[in-house]
Amino acid sequence: MERDTAFEKRSDKLGPRVAEAFRRRHFEAYYCATAQEALEKAVELIPKDDVVSWAGSETIREIGLVDYIRKNGYKRLDQEDGKDRAEFVEITRKATTCDTYLMSSNGASEDGQLVNIDRTGNRVAALCYGPRNVIVILGMNKVVKTAEDALARARGIAAPVNMARFSGRVFPEGCTPCAVTGTCADCTTEQYCICSQIVTTRHCCPTGRIKVILVGEKLGF
Ligand code: SF4
């Protein structure tokens, strides 16, 4: 398939350089031009006997990875298997010590750092420690110049957009300032603030535990 949009051209030039920057920080990292290539690379990185779990990420769904895991006989800890709130929470808790954890990131810098924000912290907990293997799928639309820019992106764009997804669906309508105005007011709204934990991952230890797959398509937000 011909890749001729400005976004794709920028991604194909920058993506391999950002992957190299992640490798200098001891992540395993790859650049895949398309979502299909990213799906194939992710599958290659998941041992077939692993217990797999994932975060509530649009990106891993968009590339078809969640469907692939569900349809191909992997052992999994799947929040959607929880029959009630208690089971949902128990699956989420166990997921922090699964074998392979799948997620995206709210932002990343060109010099190879990840920035993530989280409400209860389950996603960043698994990123920091627990699963032996963490696979981060990241559209090049989330890659910005510096870690400071990535933090600004995570708080200024990703968080309000995420809240727009949740407000009126899993959370009450208008439950935080950003759910009302579309912009962050640095709130501490009890129960509903989705910005409790803000984590920058500037280095991967043990070496290669976190695998970053950069994708030359717009994925997530
Ligand atoms: S208003 Fe609150 S929940 Fe919304 S982005 Fe800002 S800190 Fe996060």
Name residue, tokens 């996603």. 123
Is residue 49 over pLDDT 80?
yes
Could you tell me which of 116, 130, 141 has the C-alpha nearest to residue 57? 116
- Specify the CATH number for the domain of residue 111: 3.40.50.10420
Closest residue by CA, ligand 1 atom 8: 195
User: Is 93 inside any structural domain?
Assistant: yes
Could you tell me which of 68, 171, 77, 174 has the C-alpha nearest to residue 131? 77
Rounded CA-CA distance 200/177 in Å is 24
Mean of the per-residue pLDDT values of the chain:
95
3-state secondary structure of 115: strand
User: Is 1 inside any structural domain?
Assistant: no
Is residue 2 over pLDDT 70?
no
- Look up the domain containing 198 and give its range: 6-215
User: Is 99 inside any structural domain?
Assistant: yes
Q: What is the pLDDT of residue 116?
A: 97
Is residue 77 over pLDDT 80?
yes
Stronger pLDDT, 56 or 25, i.e. the higher one: 25
User: What's the total number of domains in the chain?
Assistant: 1
Q: Is 220 exposed, middle or buried (0-12, 13-18, 19+ CB in 10 A)?
A: buried
The rounded percent of the chain whose pLDDT value lies above 90 is 92
User: Is 77 inside any structural domain?
Assistant: yes
Q: Does the Cβ of 185 fall within 6 Å of ligand 1?
A: yes
pLDDT tens by residue, 88-122? 999 999 999 999 999 999 999 999 999 999 999 99
Q: What is the pLDDT of residue 1?
A: 59
User: Is 220 inside any structural domain?
Assistant: no
User: Is 144 inside any structural domain?
Assistant: yes
CA of 183 to the centre of ligand 1 (A): 8
Q: Does the Cβ of 112 fall within 6 Å of ligand 1?
A: no
CA of 193 to the centre of ligand 1 (A): 6
> Sheet of 107-109: strands edge to edge?
143-144, 107-109, 114-118, 197-201
- Output the CA angle 146-12-117, nearest 5 degrees: 35
